[in-house]
Structure 1
Amino acid sequence: MVDLQPVVQSCGYNVCRGCSFTNIEFNQKISNEVEARQFLIAHGVLSCHALCEKCGSRVSADFDRNQFICSKVILVPRRGRANCDTSRSVFSGTFCGHMHLDLEKICFLVNIFLSNHEDLMEEAMFELKLSSPTVLDWFSFCRKVVADYVERHSQCIGGVGKIVEIDETTLERRIDNRESVLTEQWVCGGIERGVRGECKAFFVPVENRTPETLIGIVKRYVLPGTTIMTDCWKGYDSLEDFGYRHLTVNRSKNFVNPRTGAHTQTIQRLWVEVRRHVSSAGFRQEELSDYLADFIFRRMIPCYGRRRHAFWKAAATLYPPEHPLA
């Protein structure tokens, strides 16, 4: 087999191993279609080469037509020599193939999605002159990428000598497609104390708060030997039977247990941020996990520039383009 590495390594595919552009630098980086395309190629989101599905030849992308077109002369039974003439879109199966937008707009839209601004929807609609449904669809699509990244990078939290606070709260969600009808959705969450620069937390939508449900979540996300602090909800009563040290606080009487010092103030403050992040107009049942993953993703990577790099690498992983070196 021919070694394709020397042939295609100069194309710049997936060469970026870490970047942290400022907003001004990034805007200059994707100032036109060619620059935006090269940025996406460098992050492995688009491919500049592919193998022909019919004859297996290496094909270079024709970006004037955004097609991989194989023009190799092949032997056809009963016809002799003929051009292969197999073609397909360079966007087929990739992150950029899901919506019909210019590459610059896609990059700018994702950049707005990843920002920490208050009203991302309004900003995207104003800056890019896009409709509300288009922005909603793209933001939902972006959250799928983020959710996949968080799932692949998630780890159990806590451990011997570590403290994890666990609590539940309710968030409002829409019922089916009835936009004006909202109902409450329980979410169980936990966060490890004393961790700076990274987010060691979990959030899980739950249908109920029974001991079976809550203990099952704790066993999945928290390491044995951890000191767990909760309120006095009975669903946590048997935690010590599973190798955890369990301290409680009755928040109706004290914010901090005067005897043990136990409290859940950290997770309480986090719920405020979660509610602010999740759409105030409510969300559909299937969207909640993605919203929560998006919240964790932003805390995992607080630096805006590094967050952008991580997102595009995650998009390339979830929707990999076909490339001889992929």
Structure 2
Amino acid sequence: MEDLNVCVQRCGYNTCSGCSLTNIEFIRIILDENMARNFLIQHGAIACHVLCPRCGARLSADWTKSLFRCRKMTRIPKRKYQKCETSTSVFQGTLFERSHLSLTKICILVNIFLSSQDEKVSEAMLEVDCSRQTVLDWFSLYQEVVADYIVRCSQSIGGVGKIVEIDEAKLGEGKHNHGCLSHGQWVIGGVERKNRGKGKVFLVTVEDRSPDTLIRVIERFVKPGTTIISDCWKGYDALQTEGFRRFAANHSLKFVNPDTEAPTQDPERLWVEVRRVVFKAGFRTEDYEGCLCDTLFSRMEPCYGLRRHLFWKAAASLYSPDHPLA
């Protein structure tokens, strides 16, 4: 069998360790089908070589037909030689499997999905000339990629000598679009001080904001010994007995507690980011969780170019192609 290291050096599969292309540079790449394909190969999202499942031969992609086709001559009993003729799609098992859109259009959809603009769906429909349902289906698939990355890379925040600001909010819509929320989803969020915009954040959907729920969430996502700043909700009163140091601030009066000088603006900023990506109505719990993952992903990597790189690496991890080194 051919040396796989030589194969990788020649094809460049999964060799990109970090790129931060500008939007113009990325658009220039994906508008060319060959350059877009090479970009995806370098990020491990598609394979350029596979091993034949029947005879084990290394197959190169036929990009004109989007197939891996084996033409190795094999010796069989009572006959001289016979071609293997095994073929598979180059997109089998990847993010692009069974897609009718071109690589260029799919990459454009990813670009829009990762952007911070408000009307993403309308913009995507215009850019790639497809239906709203198609765009929503692809965005849902992208959210699965982001959610898988968040789960694999999530970690507790805070620690001894560190401060975490915690707040809870109800996302949803009031009756006739105004007033108190009649239906919605409770979400608890925390932001580690001195790490604004660098990923030190957690967001989790909960059934309610009872003391038991708050304690369970905080024990899961916040390290013991952390100093916690929260509002005056009575559910936080039990934190002192759970190994946390807690300060309270009244959001309705001021953003800084005059006794402790503890600001509480970071959670409010976080809710602004969350509500920017959460649709106004008709969401199920899993839909909220997808939007929360979008916010967390943006917080974990604020740089748009590096966030795009992380997305394609995450897509290659979740939808791994059949490359010999995948």
TM-score normalized by the length of structure 2: 0.92
Indicate if the aligned counterparts of 2:118 and 2:276 stay in contact, CA closer than 8 A: no
* TM-superposed deviation, 1:250: 3.4
Amino acid at match of 1:47: A
Q: Does residue 28 of the first structure (1) align with residue 28 of the second (2)?
A: yes
* TM-superposed deviation, 1:165: 0.9
Q: Who is 2:265 aligned against?
A: 265
Q: Who is 2:118 aligned against?
A: 118
Indicate if the aligned counterparts of 2:227 and 2:246 stay in contact, CA closer than 8 A: yes
- Number of equivalenced pairs: 319
Q: Who is 2:103 aligned against?
A: 103
Indicate if the aligned counterparts of 1:228 and 1:244 stay in contact, CA closer than 8 A: yes
* TM-superposed deviation, 1:228: 0.4
Instruction: For structure 2, list consecutive stretches of 5 or more residues without a partner in the other structure.
Output: 174-181
- CA distance in 2: counterparts of 1:119 and 1:21, whole angstroms: 23
* TM-superposed deviation, 1:42: 1.1
Indicate if the aligned counterparts of 1:248 and 1:263 stay in contact, CA closer than 8 A: no
Secondary structure at the counterpart of residue 237 of structure 1: helix
Indicate if the aligned counterparts of 2:94 and 2:319 stay in contact, CA closer than 8 A: yes
- 1:51-62 matches, within 5 Å, as 51-62=51-62
Q: Relative to structure 1, is the Cα distance of residues 82 and 188 closer, same or farther in structure 2, using a 3 angstrom cutoff?
A: same
Indicate if the aligned counterparts of 1:41 and 1:48 stay in contact, CA closer than 8 A: yes
- CA distance in 2: counterparts of 1:30 and 1:276, whole angstroms: 28
- 1:13-92 matches, within 5 Å, as 13-77=13-77, 79=79, 81-92=81-92
Identity %: 57
Secondary structure at the counterpart of residue 34 of structure 2: helix
Please list the CA deviations of residues 3-35 of structure 1 after superposition, one character each: whole Å capped at 9, or x if unmatched.
322134201211111111112211111222212
Q: Does residue 149 of the first structure (1) align with residue 149 of the second (2)?
A: yes
- CA distance in 1: counterparts of 2:220 and 2:77, whole angstroms: 58
Secondary structure at the counterpart of residue 189 of structure 1: strand
Q: Relative to structure 1, is the Cα distance of residues 109 and 53 closer, same or farther in structure 2, using a 3 angstrom cutoff?
A: same
* TM-superposed deviation, 1:68: 0.9
TM-score normalized by the length of structure 1: 0.92
- CA distance in 2: counterparts of 1:3 and 1:64, whole angstroms: 26
Q: Who is 2:221 aligned against?
A: 221
- CA distance in 1: counterparts of 2:90 and 2:16, whole angstroms: 20
Please list the CA deviations of residues 126-145 of structure 1 after superposition, one character each: whole Å capped at 9, or x if unmatched.
11111100111111111111
Q: Who is 1:301 aligned against?
A: 301
Secondary structure at the counterpart of residue 64 of structure 2: coil
Secondary structure at the counterpart of residue 101 of structure 2: coil
Q: Relative to structure 1, is the Cα distance of residues 279 and 241 closer, same or farther in structure 2, using a 3 angstrom cutoff?
A: same
* TM-superposed deviation, 1:260: 2.5
Instruction: For structure 1, list consecutive stretches of 5 or more residues without a partner in the other structure.
Output: 174-181
Please list the CA deviations of residues 139-170 of structure 1 after superposition, one character each: whole Å capped at 9, or x if unmatched.
11111111112222222111111111111111
Q: Does residue 321 of the first structure (1) align with residue 321 of the second (2)?
A: yes
Indicate if the aligned counterparts of 2:214 and 2:236 stay in contact, CA closer than 8 A: yes
Please list the CA deviations of residues 30-73 of structure 1 after superposition, one character each: whole Å capped at 9, or x if unmatched.
22221211111111101010011111111111111111111112
Please list the CA deviations of residues 257-311 of structure 1 after superposition, one character each: whole Å capped at 9, or x if unmatched.
3323344322122212211221124422212111101111112212111111111
* TM-superposed deviation, 1:252: 4.6
Amino acid at match of 1:145: V
Q: Relative to structure 1, is the Cα distance of residues 160 and 98 closer, same or farther in structure 2, using a 3 angstrom cutoff?
A: farther
Q: Does residue 94 of the first structure (1) align with residue 98 of the second (2)?
A: no
